[in-house]
Amino acid sequence: MEKAIIETNFNLPGQNSLYNGKVRDVYFMNGGYLVMVVTDRISAFDIVLPRGIPYKGQVLNQMASEFLDATADIVPNWKIDSPDPMVTAGHFAEPFKVEMVIRGYLTGHAWRLYKAGKRDICGVPLPDGMKEHQKLPSPVITPTTKATRGHDEDISREEIIESGLVSQSDYEKLEQYTYDLFERGTKMAEEKGLILVDTKYEFGKKNGEIILIDEVHTPDSSRYFYSDGYLERFEKGEPQRQLSKEFVREWLIEKGFQGRDGDQIPGIPDDFIESVSERYIELYEMITGKKFKRAPAGDVTGRIKSNILNFIDRLR
């Protein structure tokens, strides 16, 4: 089995700090830009699992890069270049402290809340009698706080504005960008025989301008169903065929882990790691329509560093 890259620790020219996120190692550089290495780490229930997924970082980075390019006419974004299959470099923006989650279907976290009896999610009322995976009358935004560690928390539009997390004028722009991006992503998925079920967007401000940051429409930030067979499965109450990280969460739930205090992360076997890797590659090929080309698997960290240094030289 191929080796997963679960961390980097470079000392780059012009680097002023390093942030290790759940999946990404972000190098903040002098001059107002950053270099983001998308590792093969995988998280679930806001917990980083102890084993990485080979090629996951490459899949996420290349998909996000394509979608940033494909949505730049809707909202400007942070990307400057992708100098390596696992790296994107771009502008630093001060991030908003909320994530804009948008849902087209009652699935995942929203369904778990609904099933437990909630009929109001992030201030959005939902009618009685809905079923799992049911399409919502129209997409709804269910924001969360953006936690640097631990769990993100659901929050309503009103709470965001009243607390001053985001001004009303900025939030209204974030909402419109979110609806427009989701519409674009939905159309792109439909062309490939997929349904974009839900996703999240992150935004920041640079020189007073709102820009789209982080990843876009990847399997870590989004959930996809196959269009073929969706209605038949829904009517029978059967699980949907999906391409997302939800199947990892479901596997963990079966093993008794949901990220709760006292939960023990189960041992993760090689065959499951390989199956997750193949699912990520499958989604890349489905949503992009391109054959996935595995990057050279030799000295991967050396390759990444060399490509980053070449980018820094070009930027000077």
pLDDT at 147: 64
Structure tokens at 296: 């050279």
pLDDT at 156: 94
The answer to whether residues 147 and 47 touch, using CB atoms and an 8 Å cutoff, is no
Backbone torsions φ then ψ of 223, nearest 5 degrees? -125, 130
pLDDT at 247: 80
Instruction: Name the pTM for this structure.
Output: 0.88
Q: According to the 3-state scheme, what is the secondary structure of the chain?
A: CCCCCCCCCCCCCCEEEEEECCCEEEEEECCCEEEEEECCCCEECCEECCCCCCCHHHHHHHHHHHHHHHCCCCCCECEEEEEECCEEEEECCEECCEEEEEEEEECHHHHHHHHCCCCEECCEECCCCCCCCEEEEEEEECCEECCCCCCCCECCHHHHHHHCCCCHHHHHHHHHHHHHHHHHHHHHHHHCCEEEEEEEEEEEEECCEEEEECCCCCCCCEEEEECCCHHHHHHHCCCCCEEECHHHHHHHHHCCCCCCCCCCCCCCCHHHHHHHHHHHHHHHHHHHCCCCCCCCCCCHHHHHHHHHHHHHHHHC
Strand partners, 196: 224
pLDDT at 243: 77
Nearest to 288 by CA among 66, 114, 102, 82: 66
The answer to whether residues 34 and 48 touch, using CB atoms and an 8 Å cutoff, is no
Backbone torsions φ then ψ of 311, nearest 5 degrees? -65, -45
CA angle 276, 281, 282 (to 5 degrees): 95
CA angle 98, 100, 102 (to 5 degrees): 155
pLDDT at 209: 97
Nearest to 65 by CA among 89, 42, 31: 89
Backbone torsions φ then ψ of 267, nearest 5 degrees? -65, 140
The radius of gyration of the chain's CA atoms, rounded to the nearest angstrom, is: 19
pLDDT at 148: 56
All domains of the chain, ordered by start, with CATH?
15-94+271-315 (3.30.200.20), 97-244 (3.30.470.20)
Low-confidence ranges of the chain (pLDDT < 50): none
The answer to whether residues 46 and 92 touch, using CB atoms and an 8 Å cutoff, is no
Question: Quick one: CA torsion of 57, 183, 290, 78, rounded to 10 degrees?
Answer: -40
